[in-house]
Amino acid sequence: MNMSKLLRFAGVLACAMAPTLGLTKEVPAWVGKANNAFAIDLYRKLASEKRDDLFFSPNSIETALAMTYAGAQGETASQMAAVLHLPAGTNTIHTDLGDFLAELNSTAPIDGKPRGYQLSVANALWGQKGYEFLPHFLDVLKTNYGAGLQEVDFRNDTEGARETINDWVEKKTADKIKDLIGRGVLTPLTRLVLTNAIYFKGTWTSPFDKAATRDEAFHVSVQQESNVPMMHRTGEYGYLEDTDFQLLKLPYAGGKLSMIILLPHRRDGLPQLEKELTPEKLSDSFAKFVNEKVIVSIPKFKMTAQFELAPILESMGMHAAFGADADFSGMTGKRDLMISNVIHKAFAEVNEEGTEAAAATGVVMSLRMAMPVRMLEFRADHPFIFLIREEASGAILFMGRLTDPKKE
């Protein structure tokens, strides 16, 4: 199905092939806060470019960049830490992120019951055969992110290396993300690619009845309508009404994850809502949900997007990492590498049963030369923001906006 101007999806899906554990450590509060601050920053940048058909996972991007940060030094490291909102004076950053990724990847029962969703996150390093990387750098990534080093030959078989990496991404995302790295991105000067992949499939705690889905008007703007399939259900949901918008929380089976929709009261209210959106405002809203009986109408939709993040990250303050001043000596012991590309691709589908979403990120390192029951109504028939959140940490795993469900 088609959908236009759809979404500045800051989708957040964390990524790392952390080991599956029955019991995981408590994740420090800074992890969710940093994740969400980066998500909002990135959302603002992408939204300001007025792109159509944009969808992404900020957590996937942050995880891939956090792995890269493990090898950064000096001003390069300082700039990356600032953009990623990593805490100063903390020497457990990678351990904390590893604990969070382990929790996301865990299949342990919740309150004795199956989790009710699929969430798979994985990381890998792809290094040039014979190229020397510091043991400490490799150990940090393998221990905390589950990212083992796999050797490929960028120098003599660039296309073969590209195909190997893309095949891994495709497998880790249940075939949803294909050809993450396009032709020409890798060159004989490429020495390392850091990849992150995430796949999520969850069913609603209370699915929508397919028989109730019918084509109805979605107000793309005050003047324009689009006829789209709208899903309908009345039930108990987390709900909040603010001066300018409504929030609705749709839980996935297991209660660990949920989708949250931010719907402006005005049909043309999305730009103002985006302008006023902050991590603090989101956090405050999350804390105020009240279970209410709500008449819910939301569109079913499907979307994909791919983009190059390097220019955007530079504009956010991470400029040293991409040029001659890059210092990734923590990877090799020499200042010989810089980031040449940060590529991201994502997919999402929302229907009566639930949600399926996948995302992958590749960071390419090259040689520098190169209450009483009330009947409320929540009718999302005009542009809105939506996100998928991990409840315990509050971390946004996916985030986006929908302006026209009919276009893709």
Higher-pLDDT residue of 1, 380:
380
Q: Which of 3-12, 182-191, 224-233, 366-375 has the lowest mean pLDDT?
A: 3-12
Find out whether 361 and 116 touch, Cβ atoms under 8 Å: no
Distances in Å between the Cα of 181 and the Cα atoms of 136, 178, 227 are 28, 9, 35
Cα 76 from Cα 368, distance rounded (Å): 14
Higher-pLDDT residue of 13, 43:
43
User: What is 14-82 written as a DSSP string?
Assistant: ----PPP-SS-PPPPHHHHHHHHHHHHHHHHHHHHTT-SS-EE-HHHHHHHHHHHHTT--HHHHHHHHH
Please work out, in degrees rounded to the nearest 5, the angle formed at the alpha carbon of residue 38 by the alpha carbons of 37 and 40: 65
The predicted structure's pLDDT at residue 332: 96
Label residue 53 by pLDDT band (50, 70, 90): low
Q: Percent of the chain beyond pLDDT 90?
A: 71
Label residue 395 by pLDDT band (50, 70, 90): confident
> In the chain, where does the domain assigned CATH 2.30.39.10 lie?
210-299+373-393
Under CATH, what is the fold of the domain 9-203+302-367? Answer: Antithrombin; Chain I, domain 2 (3.30.497)
* Model confidence, pTM: 0.86
Model pLDDT for residues 61-95, shown as the tens digit of each residue: 999 999 999 999 999 999 999 999 999 878 899 99
At a CB cut-off of 8 Å and minimum separation 6, what does 157 contact? none
The predicted structure's pLDDT at residue 195: 98
Least Cα distance to 244 among 283, 279, 285, 216 occurs for 285
Model pLDDT for residues 237-250, shown as the tens digit of each residue: 999 998 899 999 99
The predicted model gives 52-60 an average pLDDT of 80
Q: Which two tokens stand for residue 154?
A: 């960028």
Under CATH, what is the fold of the domain 210-299+373-393? Answer: Alpha-1-antitrypsin; domain 1 (2.30.39)
Indicate the pairing of strand 190-203 with strand 354-367: antiparallel
Sole residue written with tokens 């987390």: 238
> In the chain, where does the domain assigned CATH 3.30.497.10 lie?
9-203+302-367
Label residue 57 by pLDDT band (50, 70, 90): very high
* pLDDT of 7 strictly over 50: no
Least Cα distance to 40 among 404, 406, 400, 405 occurs for 400
The predicted structure's pLDDT at residue 9: 31
Cα 106 from Cα 27, distance rounded (Å): 13
* pLDDT of 20 strictly over 60: no
**Using CA of residue 42, residue 44, residue 49, residue 55, what is the dihedral sign?**
positive
Model pLDDT for residues 160-197, shown as the tens digit of each residue: 999 999 999 999 999 999 999 999 999 999 999 999 99
Find out whether 4 and 53 touch, Cβ atoms under 8 Å: yes
Q: How many residues does the chain have?
A: 408
* pLDDT of 119 strictly over 90: yes
The predicted structure's pLDDT at residue 16: 25
* pLDDT of 21 strictly over 80: no
Q: What is the mean pLDDT of the chain?
A: 89
* pLDDT of 305 strictly over 90: no
The predicted structure's pLDDT at residue 230: 97
Cα 165 from Cα 177, distance rounded (Å): 12
The predicted model gives 116-142 an average pLDDT of 95
The dihedral formed by the CA atoms of 322, 327, 328 and 329, expressed in degrees to the nearest 10: 160
Cα 248 from Cα 267, distance rounded (Å): 17
